[in-house]
């Protein structure tokens, strides 16, 4: 199979590596293709969504029937947030056979318990843009799947990193529930989704949603640090004050994927061992 990873960053690069290891032909994009030097074997492509020439070059390079992972987020522009999905899909035209889009559990809005049956209810401009991107992907002339990951963590990213840097704050008492997914588990799910022809939109999370305070206490214990301070929830980023328990089992059953890190304890401990 031929694959195109739009945005080979923290998650996308890991997906590309899995696809390469499985024998796929992989094209991957970055604003600076030199950043993809750590992916030997990948066809590195320059992509700048603000540059029409780089968008037009995509269709000239990638083969018909390519399977696409769209992992570019909502971006910040001079007039506020914008989503590059319309330009990307227009540039690709009818070349993809499949598109898998990495969205976010933020599209569930104020829902506090989420599973595959929970309707999306975006409650902000960025999540409305995400939902519009989901709809555009699912309306195309290809098979499509939308993955809505909870908080993505792993080596170099997560509570353990922010706490060690002195940046982490608990939202109030820290009793809000947070769901998460280790980046390697998300990459395994995304790679399986690309190889599959299953369709639909699914939340992605591990099996252990937990209060933010519990996760912070675990990290503090591992790192030998004091508990982080609290802050008024309204002063923190929405990802820190979210209160959501996500059940991500449905997509894993559908795709036949088992988690390497079923809970935050295993995942954070493993992440701290990676240098």
In tens, the pLDDT along 48-80 reads: 988 888 898 888 899 999 999 999 999 888 888
pLDDT number for residue 197: 96
Quick one: what percent of the chain has pLDDT higher than 70? Answer: 99
CA distances from 134 to 129, 145, 208 (A): 9, 9, 26
How many other β-carbons are positioned within 10 Å of the β-carbon of residue 155? 17
pLDDT at 83 over 60: yes
Q: State the average pLDDT over residues 173-177.
A: 96
Q: Report strand pairing: 80-82 vs 75-77.
A: antiparallel
Q: Work out the mean pLDDT of the chain and round it to a whole number.
A: 95
Question: With bands split at pLDDT 50, 70 and 90, how would you rate the model's confidence at 203?
Answer: very high
Taking the C-alpha atoms of residue 120 and residue 131, their distance in angstroms, rounded to an integer, is 8
What CATH architecture does domain 2-272 belong to? 3-Layer(aba) Sandwich (3.40)
Q: State the average pLDDT over residues 164-172.
A: 96
Domain ranges of the chain: 2-272
How many other β-carbons are positioned within 10 Å of the β-carbon of residue 86? 12
Q: Which two tokens stand for residue 136?
A: 């555009």
User: What confidence tens digit (pLDDT) does each residue in 94-124 have?
Assistant: 999 999 999 999 999 999 999 999 999 988 8
pLDDT at 274 over 70: no
């Amino acid at each position: 199979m031929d694959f195109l990873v739009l945005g080979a960053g923290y998650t996308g690069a890991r997906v590309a590596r899995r696809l390469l290891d499985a024998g796929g032909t992989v094209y991957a994009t970055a604003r600076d293709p030199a950043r993809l030097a750590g992916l030997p074997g990948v066809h590195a492509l320059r992509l700048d969504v603000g540059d029409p020439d780089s968008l037009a070059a995509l269709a000239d390079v990638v083969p018909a029937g390519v399977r696409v992972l769209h992992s570019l987020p909502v971006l910040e522009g001079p007039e506020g947030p914008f989503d590059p999905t319309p330009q990307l899909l227009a540039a690709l035209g009818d070349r993809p056979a499949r598109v898998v889009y990495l969205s976010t559990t933020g599209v569930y809005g104020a829902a506090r318990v989420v599973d595959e049956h929970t309707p999306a209810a975006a409650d902000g401009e960025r999540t409305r843009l995400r939902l519009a991107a989901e709809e555009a992907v699912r309306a195309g002339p290809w098979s499509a799947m939308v993955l809505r990951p909870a908080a993505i963590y792993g080596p170099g990213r997560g509570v353990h990193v922010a706490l060690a840097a002195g940046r982490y704050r608990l939202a109030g008492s820290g009793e809000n529930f947070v769901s998460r997914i280790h980046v390697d588990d998300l990459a395994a799910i995304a790679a399986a989704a690309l190889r599959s022809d299953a369709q639909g939109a699914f939340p992605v999370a591990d099996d252990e949603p937990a209060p933010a305070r519990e996760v912070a206490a675990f990290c503090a214990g591992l790192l030998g640090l004091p508990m982080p301070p609290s802050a008024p929830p309204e002063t923190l980023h929405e990802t820190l004050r979210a209160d959501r328990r996500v059940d991500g089992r449905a997509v894993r059953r559908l795709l036949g994927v088992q988690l390497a890190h079923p809970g935050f304890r295993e995942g954070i401990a493993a992440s701290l061992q990676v240098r």
